[in-house]
């Protein structure tokens, strides 16, 4: 069908004046050759038209040449429902419901690259089915503060984990002919004042903490497009920041893909032209009114740019570079005749959603062996908490979805245990009763007029009468929780949940707390409560995934992708007092917030370890229903040449009675360095599946880049000769074995 449509377009436009297929349409020819051929045939107006939107989520292509439109979609957790041509309102389609996949932070918590590839492949299949070309994700910004409203869309606090878990996602998407759009480059670490934030970051922190995942996406991942952020950096907006886009991304990293603006992130023509931006979406410039004919010609990279090209203000070489990148993106996606048709909400997607959701759930604590649930002993189970019944797919900002279905935790637990145990439910608290975002509704009516006292009395009564209490609370995706465009107001659980958990524990100490959230929260009750589970926004299969883990049908194997601080003061961004920054003005006299990143490279566990702080749960922590014994870490050599490699092996034995998966984590410590370095840094991990009594070998290859730091004086990465220590363990705070070697 795609081939026929393109052929008809070309016949109508006269492209087939001869029987020979044009070079740009011949997919057997090299991509760069096709791009140059198409570029040579385009008029100046067509070149300008192709680099800005024609609707909310599409650009026009070149109809005269049969070059099709390019359609984008949010991302990154599922394919967003259709909106009106140039409005955010819903288009009212009845066939645009999707599979809602777990939040990316859940994927990261799996520490499983194979699940990451499956995630990317599955979501791309749904994008193909809906004829989408660019998926606006993944987001690879670093957790700097647990208050950031968009943390749930990212991969956590560590650059290595973020890199290694995002790359398979990128490959899975693009193997299906859909482009990723890696975002938000760079330093989109808070949603408060996001359009005016101006992070002040030293070069070392940039290169060691905030750049690595983006660099890997551009180089190792060959991501076909990047998205800039709303924020500023060094006083210039990120989407067309000369340093970020020209000097680093397209210069130092030699990136050949297209740079797309965030929606409405462009503010003037000269900066957008010269700052490395290739495509403009979502702007509302003067003269652009809803429904106005050709209103998109008023974008900053539209008529203003065309006039400047015609009068010599701008050179065509810069324009041609932009067009080349957009043509390359189009040829890889919309013009790819071999792209699969895809499928939507299939049985395979239901299963992959459930598998990813369960794979990311983290068992934080299980002191009394309350889990897995034992129906023979737990004949009556009380489920308490609003998050047990609240649908979470709708809300949170641009990642909000119109899911074909959503299994709530209560539904999942009833389906699993309803025939073997008496399940009772009490709400416990009333939080967010809404279920609407951008015209999509969950269909739930959670209105509850009972008083706080009545809700508490019901919950306590249920708890006292039960053999086991499972409290399912946490955050939700309403404003000032896990939500785009707002940060959280504080670190505590909302709606009085901390007090409720304490009361439930007093009523029945056989208490399991399931925390549904996309970022860290205070857990002042953590030492009391015997069992704590970190769940996430699990998408369509959320309830089934939680039931799989609580029942033991799936042995939990997730590990924390961020440090779960005891208090906000354990986070460097807050302990050093520079959040949310100081109000000032940019070069145009507009409001701007300078945010000094005073903690530098000391983000997350790097900060807590440097300052001897004990978090509630450390980075990399996660338990299992079995136990694992670590043997001695063995190096094949004790000395390493400058450009050489070492091999490290560690035997790991399942010392329990059930099969399980263990994430073996490798940290590197530089014993003596000319620059201050963290106590240790994650540089490898291996997820092993091990049968009871069996032993598996974790293998790691040690290379010099794993030992390097960024030297701001020389503007280069350096690995200094000397002694290094390799630390292998089950978390950043649970090191089981060590080995030393010398870098010559």
β-pair type (709-711, 722-731): unpaired
Residue with tokens 């899911």: 403
Residue 223 tokens, joined: 């991501």
> Under a CB-based contact definition with an 8 Å cutoff, are residues 587 and 184 in contact?
no
Angle at 506 between CA 505 and CA 508, to 5 degrees: 60
Q: Quote the CA–CA distance of 56 and 51 in Å, as a whole number.
A: 14
Compute the C-alpha angle 561/155/100, nearest 5°: 115
Strand partners, 710: 717
Collapsing DSSP to helix, strand or coil, 38 comes out as helix
- What would the two tokens of residue 631 be? 């043997």
Q: Which of 179, 255, 168, 177 is nearest to 218 (CA)?
A: 255
Eight-state DSSP code of residue 83: B
In total, the chain counts a number of residues equal to 744
| Residue bearing tokens 């377009």 | 9
CA dist., res. 231 & res. 233, Å (int): 7
Q: Report the 10 Å Cβ neighbour count for 172.
A: 23
Catalytic residue among 133, 262, 482, 670: 262
Contact criterion met (CB below 8 Å) for 83 and 90: yes
Q: Do you find a cis peptide bond into 319, omega within 30 degrees of 0?
A: no
Tell me how far apart the alpha carbons of residues 361 and 598 are, in angstroms, rounded to a whole number: 32
Cα gap 624→627, rounded to integer Å: 7
Block residue for tokens 């499972």: 470
* Angle ∠(17,321,217) on CA atoms, nearest 5: 115
| Element containing residue 299 per DSSP (H, E) | none
Question: Cα(385)–Cα(546) distance, rounded to whole angstroms?
Answer: 14
The DSSP 8-state label assigned to residue 568 in this structure reads G
Opening angle at CA 455, ends 449 and 461, nearest 5 = 145
CA distance 317 to 256: 16
CB 249: neighbour CB atoms within 10 A?
A: 24
As a whole number of angstroms, the distance between CA 265 and CA 281 comes to: 8
Q: Are residues 172 and 119 in contact, defined by beta-carbon separation less than 8 angstroms?
A: yes
Strand 734-743: give its sheet, edge to edge: 639-640, 734-743, 722-731, 660-670, 681-690
Secondary structure E strands in 249-339: 258-260
Helix (H) or strand (E) holding 742: strand 734-743
Q: Determine whether 262 is an active site residue.
A: yes
- Least Cα distance to 483 among 472, 494, 471 occurs for 494
Q: For 548, what's the count of Cα atoms within 13 Å in the CB-facing half-sphere?
A: 23
CA distances from 698 to 632, 634, 662, 684, 690 (A): 11, 11, 10, 10, 11
Catalytic residue positions, numbered: 262
């Amino acid at each position: 069908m795609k081939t026929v449509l393109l052929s008809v377009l070309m016949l109508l436009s006269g492209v087939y004046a001869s029987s020979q297929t044009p070079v740009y349409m011949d997919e057997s020819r090299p991509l760069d050759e096709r791009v140059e051929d198409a570029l040579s045939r385009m008029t100046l107006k067509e070149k300008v038209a192709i680099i800005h939107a024609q609707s909310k989520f599409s650009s026009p292509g070149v109809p005269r040449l049969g070059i099709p439109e390019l359609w984008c979609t949010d991302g990154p957790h599922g394919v967003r429902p259709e909106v009106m041509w140039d409005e955010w309102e819903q288009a009212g389609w009845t066939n645009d419901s999707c599979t809602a996949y777990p939040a990316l932070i859940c994927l990261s918590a799996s520490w499983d690259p194979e699940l990451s590839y499956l995630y990317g492949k599955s979501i791309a299949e749904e994008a193909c089915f809906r004829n989408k070309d660019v998926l606006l994700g993944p987001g690879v910004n670093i957790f700097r503060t647990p208050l950031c409203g968009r943390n749930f869309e990212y991969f956590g606090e560590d650059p290595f984990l973020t890199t290694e878990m995002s790359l398979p996602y990128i490959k899975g998407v693009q193997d299906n002919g859909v482009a990723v759009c890696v975002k938000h480059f760079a330093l989109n670490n808070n949603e408060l004042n996001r359009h005016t934030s101006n992070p002040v970051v030293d070069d070392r922190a940039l290169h060691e903490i905030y750049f690595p995942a983006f660099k890997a996406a551009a180089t190792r991942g060959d991501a076909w497009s990047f998205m800039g952020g709303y924020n500023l950096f060094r006083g210039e907006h990120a989407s067309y920041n000369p340093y970020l886009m020209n000097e680093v991304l397209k210069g130092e990293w030699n990136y050949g893909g297209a740079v797309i603006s965030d929606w409405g992130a462009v503010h003037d023509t000269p900066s957008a032209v010269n700052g490395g931006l290739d495509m403009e979406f979502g702007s509302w410039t003067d003269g652009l009114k809803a429904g106005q004919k050709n209103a998109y010609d008023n974008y900053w990279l539209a008529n203003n740019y065309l006039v400047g090209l015609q009068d010599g203000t701008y050179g065509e070489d810069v324009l041609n570079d932009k067009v080349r990148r957009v043509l390359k993106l189009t040829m890889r996606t919309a013009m790819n005749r071999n792209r699969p048709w895809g499928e939507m909400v299939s049985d395979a997607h239901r299963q992959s959603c459930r598998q990813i959701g369960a794979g990311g759930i983290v068992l934080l604590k299980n002191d009394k062996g309350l889990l897995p649930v034992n129906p023979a002993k737990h004949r009556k189970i009380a489920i308490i908490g609003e998050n047990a019944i609240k649908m979470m797919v709708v809300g949170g900002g641009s990642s909000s979805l119109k899911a074909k279905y959503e299994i709530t935790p209560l539904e999942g637990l009833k389906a699993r245990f309803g025939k073997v145990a008496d399940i009772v439910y009490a709400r416990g608290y009333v939080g967010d009763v809404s279920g609407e975002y951008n015209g999509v509704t969950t269909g739930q009516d959670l209105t509850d007029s009972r008083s706080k006292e009545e809700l508490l009395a019901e919950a306590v009564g249920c708890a006292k009468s039960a053999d086991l209490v499972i409290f399912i609370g946490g955050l939700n995706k309403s404003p000032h929780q896990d939500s785009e465009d707002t940060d959280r107001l504080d670190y505590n659980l909302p709606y009085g949940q901390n007090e409720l958990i304490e009361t439930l524990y007093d009523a029945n100490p056989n208490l399991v707390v399931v925390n549904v959230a996309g970022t860290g929260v205070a857990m002042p009750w953590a030492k009391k409560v015997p069992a704590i589970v970190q769940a996430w926004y699990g998408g369509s299969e959320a309830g089934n995934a939680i039931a799989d883990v609580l029942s033991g049908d799936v042995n939990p194997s997730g590990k924390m992708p961020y440090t779960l601080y005891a208090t906000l003061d354990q986070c460097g961004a807050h302990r050093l007092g520079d959040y949310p920054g100081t109000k000032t003005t940019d070069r145009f006299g507009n409001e701007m917030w300078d945010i000094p990143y005073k903690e530098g490279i000391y983000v997350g566990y790097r900060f807590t370890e440097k300052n001897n702080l004990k978090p509630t749960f450390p980075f990399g922590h996660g338990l299992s229903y079995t136990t694992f014994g670590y043997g001695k870490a063995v190096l094949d050599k004790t000395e390493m040449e400058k450009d050489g490699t070492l091999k490290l092996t560690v035997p790991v034995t399942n010392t329990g009675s059930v099969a399980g998966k263990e994430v073996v984590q490798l940290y590197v410590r530089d014993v003596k360095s000319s620059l201050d370095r963290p106590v240790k840094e994650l540089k490898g991990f291996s997820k092993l599946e091990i049968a009871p009594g069996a032993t598996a070998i974790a293998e790691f290859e040690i290379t010099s880049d794993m030992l390097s730091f960024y030297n701001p004086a020389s503007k280069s990465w350096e690995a200094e000769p000397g002694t290094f220590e390799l630390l292998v363990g089950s978390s950043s705070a649970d090191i089981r074995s060590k080995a030393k070697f010398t870098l010559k």
